[in-house]
Chain A
Amino acid sequence: MLLPAGILQLQLHVEPMSTRPEVRAIGTALREEWGSRAGIVELLSARTGWVSEFQAFAAILQYVVPGDLPDREARALAGRTRAVYLPSVGALANGALLAGATRAPLRESMEQPALAAQAVLHLTHELAGHGALAENTAMGRSHERAARRKDAVSLACRCLPLAESLAAADDAFGRESERWATFAEGWSRWITHRLRPRLAARLPHLGEQLLSARPSLSQAAQDEQSRALIRRLAACGSSDPQAFAAAWRQAVGPSPDARLIRASGLALFDELEALGGPEACLQAVHDCCSDADGIAPHLLILQRVQERLSRVH
Chain B
Amino acid sequence: MIVAEQKSLEEIKKLVGNAKKVLVAGCGTCVTVCFAGGSREAAIVSAELRMSTKLAGDPKEVADVTVQRQCEWEYLDEIAEQVQGVDVVLSLGCGVGVQAIAEHFPNVWVVPGLNTKFMGLPTEQGVWAERCAACGDCILGLTGGICPIARCSKSLLNGPCGGSLDGHCEINAEVPCGWQLIYDRLKSMGKLEVLMEIQAPKNWRTSRDGGPRKIVREDLRLVSEEK
Bound together: no
